[in-house]
Chain A
Amino acid sequence: MSLIEARQITKSYGRTTALDAVDVHLGAGEVVAVTGASGSGKSTLLLCLSGISTPDSGEVWFAGGRLDDRPESVRAVLRRTEIGVLLQHGQLVPELSATENVALPLLLGGARRTGAVRAAAEWLERFGVAAVADQLPGELSGGQQQRVALARALVTHPRLIFADEPTGSLDSVSGESVLRAMMAAARNLGTAVLLITHDATVAAYADREVHMRDGRILSGLASPAMATA
């Protein structure tokens, strides 16, 4: 069974069709790369799958239940508990230390402060950034910030991580090391990852690739879906 699935979803902004009858599915623990040039529809797909936005038509399913027709308050809880998000620039809260940033999703979910801080420290240790636990994001290198953001994305033990260009702002060596850390943790915990990237060398870390262009998913000559189209 799919963990998350988009069925024939379409989304337009004015006259621009960002998604055109897209089907995507992701199994539990599977790592899928969504690739394509800027404007191909990758980011809109992420917004619809994560429930931040809803499609104009079609359906989004998460863990056997319909997601897109639930109220935003329900989708927000799901995003906080079941889904982790890792963005290009980390998006850490600048006024909070690395530990406080990682503990934040647990505190928002009602966890006790001591437990949340202890869990955060463990995750920082796991990603090799325990030494900067008390520092503010502005004092960290790009690679360290992404490791802290990765710890924050995983601290709630989500079933799925959305990683949108997670290494886009890093040089290739630190990018590779963040990717490796993310993949090792995801494989270890059985967390599924949807990796959005325009970079084929990043997409090569996934189990398979979905390539988009003009809001559609492209397939090759051997694909039965296209052969009958």
Chain B
Amino acid sequence: MGLLSRGPQHGYELKRAHDDRLPAGKPLAYGQVYATLARLERDGLVVSVGADKAGGPERTSYGLTDVGRRSLHEWLESVEPPAPFLGGVMFAKVVVALLAADRDTAERYLMSQREAHMARMRQLTQHKQQATSAAEAASADYTIAHLDADLRWMQQTMARVDALNEEITG
């Protein structure tokens, strides 16, 4: 849906845009693209806006509905529950924020996510200080170290927001 935020596209274009813009993710299968579009259309989030046949098989283009656009922004404004290994979804939100909104929204999304991660880190740090066993402290240390890795990634990505914006929307 984020990829549709800048205008209608058909399935092939969506697959190509997805694979280009989220290079770290798994390439999307065509079947998955059309199944997802069918599900989004059923739920009223996208609508087919016409077909073109330019020298090949007929291809249907899909665009976001108002409901779809609202739903996309709601997703964008929600932070992920702070837990390790969120790299993929956090990066997807940055890319979609740049596509559907602007660099400030992307930066503020990263800051919201940082606030959520830091709140969890504070809880774990407090928990660790009150830990009654070494195992409890070691377990808190493990999660703290992984959240810290995410936070480092967020900070580096904040420093790269302008370059990403250029690449993705330029």
- Once the chains bind, are B111 and A200 in contact (CB under 8 Å)? no
Complex interface: chain A residues within 8 A of B125 (CB): 201, 204-205
Q: Which of B105, B112, B124, B155 contacts A204 (CB 8 A)?
A: B124
Name B108's closest neighbour in chain A (CB-CB).
Answer: A221
Tell me, in angstroms, the Cα distance from A204 to B102 when the chains sit together: 30
**B99 part of interface (Cβ distance < 8 Å):** no
Which of B16-24, B63-71, B115-123 participates in binding chain A? B115-123
A200 touches which of B148, B158, B159 (Cβ 8 Å): B148
* Given A200-B151, A201-B148, A219 contacting B118 (CB threshold 8 A): no
- Min CB gap B96→A, angstroms: 13
Known: A218-B111, A218-B158, A221-B111. 12 other contacts (CB 8 A): A37-B155, A37-B159, A200-B151, A201-B121, A204-B122, A206-B122, A207-B122, A209-B118, A213-B159, A220-B113, A221-B105, A221-B112
Taking the closest CB of chain B, its distance from the CB of A108, in whole angstroms, is 34
State whether A220 touches B144 (Cβ < 8 A).
no
Point out the residues of chain A lying under 8 angstroms from B62, CB to CB: none
Contact between A213 and B158, CB atoms less than 8 A apart: yes
A209 CB contacts on chain B under 8 angstroms: 115, 118
Asked whether any CB of chain B lies closer than 8 Å to the CB of A180, the reply is yes
User: Complex: how many Å from CA A211 to CA B115?
Assistant: 9
Closest B residue, CB atoms, query A183: B129
B108 near A204 (CB under 8 angstroms)?
no
The answer to whether A226 touches B108 (Cβ under 8 A) is yes
Is A222 engaged at the interface, CB distance under 8 Å to the other chain?
A: yes
Name the prevailing secondary structure of the A interface residues.
Answer: loop
Q: Does A203 contact B (CB under 8 A)?
A: yes
Chain B residues contacting A205 (CB-CB under 8 Å) are: 122, 125
- Chain B interface residue count, CB cutoff 8 Å, equals 27
Using a CB–CB distance below 8 Å, which chain A residues touch chain B?
Answer: 37, 180, 200-201, 203-207, 209, 211, 213, 218-223, 226
Given contacts A180-B129, A220-B114, contact A201 B144 (CB under 8 A): yes
Please pick, from A180, A201, A220, the residue contacting B108 in the complex, using a CB distance under 8 A: A220
Tell me which residues across on chain B come within 8 A of A211, comparing CB atoms: 111, 114
How far does the Cβ of B84 sit from chain A's closest Cβ, in whole Å?
Answer: 14
The docked-state distance in angstroms from the alpha carbon of A211 to that of B155 is 10
Measured CB to CB, the nearest residue on chain B to A219 is B111
Is there an interface contact between B77 and A221, defined as CB atoms closer than 8 Å?
A: yes
Task: Name the distance in Å between B148's Cβ and chain A's nearest Cβ.
Answer: 5
Residues of A within 8 A of B108 (CB): 218-221, 223, 226
Are the CB atoms of A204 and B144 closer together than 8 Å?
yes
- CB-nearest residue of chain A relative to B77? A221
The contact sample of 26 A-B pairs, CB cut-off 8 A, is A37-B155, A200-B117, A200-B121, A200-B148, A200-B151, A201-B144, A201-B145, A204-B118, A204-B121, A204-B124, A204-B125, A204-B144, A205-B122, A205-B125, A209-B118, A213-B158, A218-B111, A219-B108, A220-B112, A220-B115, A221-B77, A221-B105, A221-B109, A221-B111, A223-B108, A226-B108
Chain B CB within 10 A, most for which of A201, A213, A223: A201
- Residues in B with CB closer than 8 Å to A226 are 108
Query: How far apart sit A155 and B36, CA to CA, in the bound complex (Å)?
Result: 66
For chain B, residues 113 to 170, give those with C-beta under 8 angstroms from any C-beta of chain A.
113-115, 117-118, 121-122, 124-125, 129, 144-145, 147-148, 151-152, 155, 158-159
